[in-house]
Structure 1
């Protein structure tokens, strides 16, 4: 009997470990609930709810193939080896199959499980699945991991020209086993169930993920490059939560993009090429996680930035977290996150730069807050994005590149539609005033809306000074966006 241990791969189609297990013989699936570990990793309640809902859908589709899904609890990953070994002994399992996960804790967990099972004569197979290329296989000429995305992408392109990752066959129906699936819990203690309005935005299941991918590829991908930066437009694929939970695979996404672009990933439709680029960014940050494990340990990718004199400013941090900074684009973006579990990608950069540069608050505070609220929370992507924005990471924005939230707002939400949707108290302002109500005149600005908590120009100078004081920093000029 074969066991597939499901983790961030909650799908039946194009699932490498599931296909491999089913090929070898009768298969059972297991999922481990690890609430203590999830809390340590700052996983958001809406994310845990989303994963449980997807698990329920998966249980149904596996049930139709006579593959039972068992649920076990290992509150902390330290307990995973014992829990899985006991299950393997009960079911007389010959081999356990998993899809690789990345990050220091994940690697340690899998090594411990493999050792414990192998000592008991049970084989442990792990497969490349959530990435297009195995970490360690895309390297510089000197054999190190890339630190710059454009160089990494170039090698990925060369590899894709030579061979395209193929989709894995979904398993067929197997003979019924005398094993009953366990019910998937509706909720987990410590992770309150989100409201219906949030859940309705993110229906569970592979069919929904596929529908989103197909709609995006058929209708929106052509406009992706031109519309993806405008938060009031439906310019993005809305697939990130499904990718993070593995309800859809990057291979499926790549194939869909290629299909609508005559098989091209470097030329042809600029929207498709730009979107494939985003898939490669996701890939890049996971490779960074493996090549530079310190980023898994809350350390800056650029060690010299560990010396930055971040401000201890709990009131400013709370204003940012609670969407009351007095800068409409920041507050609208934070409300979007709090109410939907998701934030538009352009705005993730804008609010991150505001926190780390204008407020000079440690990027780790922002990274943690995002993880605690994002339905698509993913260590590699979230850490990569925060470190990029704070100029502590790989390929990062030069420290003197500081987004001005007001000019970003005027550029990407020129009519104020996004702002007015999330901040209805500003609905009465015209499209010029809505970006910066404090400049709209009137003795007290806008009723019910706070004055800005920081002076953008002075705070920018403060950030530049803090970065200039770091050791071994070289600059080529200064600019503002």
Structure 2
């Protein structure tokens, strides 16, 4: 029986891994990882996200060693050179087929098509599995056989399907017979500097490893999910799951999330409380954006989902953009969120919406510049979710907020950080202000002396400016 190659991408785990399980059922299996630093730069991946990937790769390599699965680690700067490398491994190691999980971005799909073509010419096959989403991308269609473009209808379809059955996880493969090929392959894991990136001081908040990830998941389900519907909106509370980095790199699967969510119901689709339903809906938003990415590839090409909004006249203001990037806009909730991201490589989801809408509406700066900045700094930067969220805030995407409905960041701050606890944590220069003043320090006293910038924009004026800019777009 010929050997199989399991190609790991953004799915660095051995538990509930579709491609890994199928590969090992076909015969002796060898693992393959391609590190592509030039490609990551093109996709604006954050150095901390790459560092997180490399640290988890160390864990994966140890886990695979226990299964007697050798690991090939190649540095292939750009994906255009990948196909030839994969073919060479097939020929050198007597490999029959390659197994991998589908990735939905247009560059990823083109990469896999090129690999598939070359392998087919030489009698091999690239076999792809649906693993990153609950339902296979391209499979969810409305009565007109078209992809859903509105989340509500998409969610209803998913609820109906989940009520029939919740997808079950794949078991960990049994250890295979030892295969001595270490002398034939590269298996050293480089560090960030060796890949051409600046050294990164890894944030210890984000531990790697499947065991740690499942502890985080189990604790969230047991202690926090019940109150998730209300608590998730308050940025000073640690009330969100904080599982996004693990889902993004595939240390955790979406099926494992569902199985944990319905564990008390013995795997049956039965919702006990509003918190459980709210987190499920968040998982389905992630699902929705994965399907949008696949069905509407233009969103992978730096284009808006709503075609007419590509003609919107955005402002070119490098000064305002820089102030937003560095958390120096003079709007405390915006600045606190941006500084949280710069410091921790993560930002609370409610605050992500506030800062995104501030950039795209109040500053009327192209949302794509914000999308890129997020990808360059977030440990959980995911193309589908990041693009979907930004386009929702900018009113250019599917199911997006109406252009005339614009968050007032001061009101949002007063509502969700009433006592200013979140602001004080990230903005020490105004931490001494009382709970009423801290949300808008200069509102009632423009001459207040602070080591903190005054607002770079008038919120009322900028709101009207944004509405006017959108109003003149043709449908």
Q: TM range, normalised to the smaller chain?
A: over 0.9
SS in 1 for 2:95: coil
My pick for the range that moved more, 414-423 or 115-124, is 115-124
Please report how far the alpha carbon of residue 425 of structure 1 lies from its aligned counterpart in structure 2 after TM superposition. Answer: 1.0
Q: Which residue does 2:458 correspond to in 1?
A: 455
Matched, 1:68 2:92: no
Partner of 1:195: 201
Aligned equivalent of 1:343: 347
Farther off after superposition, 160-169 or 350-359: 160-169
Task: Say whether 1:376 aligns with 2:352.
Answer: no
Whether contact under 8 Å (1:146, 1:152) holds in the other structure is yes
Corresponding residue of 1:173: 175
What's the CA shift for 1:158?
1.0
| Aligned position for 1:20 | 22
CA RMSD of aligned residues (A): 1.2
Are residues 335 and 230 of structure 1, via their aligned partners in 2, closer, same or farther at CA, if it must alter by over 3 Å? Answer: same
Deviations 1:112-138 (A, max 9, x none): 111111111112211010111011211
Alpha-carbon distance change, 243 to 446 in structure 1, aligned in 2, over 3 angstroms: farther
Q: Is 1:361 matched up with 2:365?
A: yes
Q: How does 1:143-222 map to 2 (within 5 A)?
A: 143-180=145-182, 182-187=187-192, 188-196=194-202, 198=203, 200-222=204-226
**Contact 2:414–2:439 (CA<8 Å) still a contact in 1?**
yes
In structure 2, C-alpha distance between the alignment counterparts of 1:66 and 1:349, rounded to whole Å: 45
The alignment status of 1:404 with 2:408, answered yes or no, reads: yes
Q: Specify whether residues 79 and 273 from structure 1 end up closer, same or farther in structure 2 by C-alpha distance, changes over 3 A only.
A: same
Q: Secondary structure at the match of 1:5?
A: strand
Between 1:185-194 and 1:52-61, the stretch displaced more is 185-194
Q: How much has 1:265 moved relative to structure 2?
A: 4.8
Q: Provide the residue aligned with 1:48 in structure 2.
A: 50
Counterpart Cα distance in 2 of 1:266 and 1:144: 29
* Preserved CA contact (<8 Å) 1:48 1:191: no
Segments of 5+ residues of structure 1 without an aligned counterpart are: 473-481
Please tell me whether the aligned partners of residues 66 and 175 of structure 1 are also in contact (alpha carbons under 8 angstroms): yes
The answer on whether the counterparts of 1:217 and 1:260 sit within 8 Å (CA) in structure 2 is no
Q: In the alignment, which residue of structure 2 is the partner of 1:124? A: 126
For the residue of structure 1 that corresponds to 2:442, the secondary structure is helix
8 Å CA contact retained: 1:46, 1:193: no
For each residue in 1:66-94, what CA deviation from the matched residue of structure 2 results, as whole angstroms up to 9, or x when unmatched?
11111012211111101111111111101
Greater shift in the superposed pair: 385-394 or 262-271: 262-271
Q: Sort the Cα spacing of 1:262 and 1:456 in 2 relative to 1 into closer, same or farther, 3 A.
A: farther
Asked whether the equivalents of residues 165 and 269 of structure 2 are also in contact (C-alpha less than 8 Å), the reply is: no
CA distance in 2, matches of 1:170, 1:40: 34
Counterpart of 1:36 in structure 2 is 38
C-alpha separation between the residues in 1 aligned to 2:266 and 2:277? 11
What SS does the aligned partner of 1:435 have?
coil
Q: Return the alpha-carbon distance in structure 1 between the equivalents of residues 233 and 115 of structure 2.
A: 43
Q: What does residue range 255-266 of structure 1 map to in structure 2 within 5 Å?
A: 255-260=259-264, 263=267, 265=269
> SS where residue 30 of structure 1 aligns?
strand
Q: By how many angstroms is 1:442 displaced?
A: 6.0
- Tell me, in whole angstroms, the C-alpha distance in 2 between the residues paired with 1:267 and 1:258: 8
Listed one character per residue, the Cα deviations across residues 382-424 of structure 1 (whole Å, up to 9, x for unaligned) are 0000000000000000000100000000001111000100011
Question: How far apart are 1:447 and its partner, in Å?
Answer: 1.9
The Cα shift of 1:191 comes to 2.4
Paired residues of 1:218 and 1:260 also in contact (CA < 8 A)? no
Q: Does 1:312 align with 2:320?
A: no
The 3 A distance-change label for structure 1 pair 267 and 469 is same
| Distance apart, 1:179 and its partner CA | 2.0
Cα distance between partner residues in 2 of 1:264 and 1:280: 17
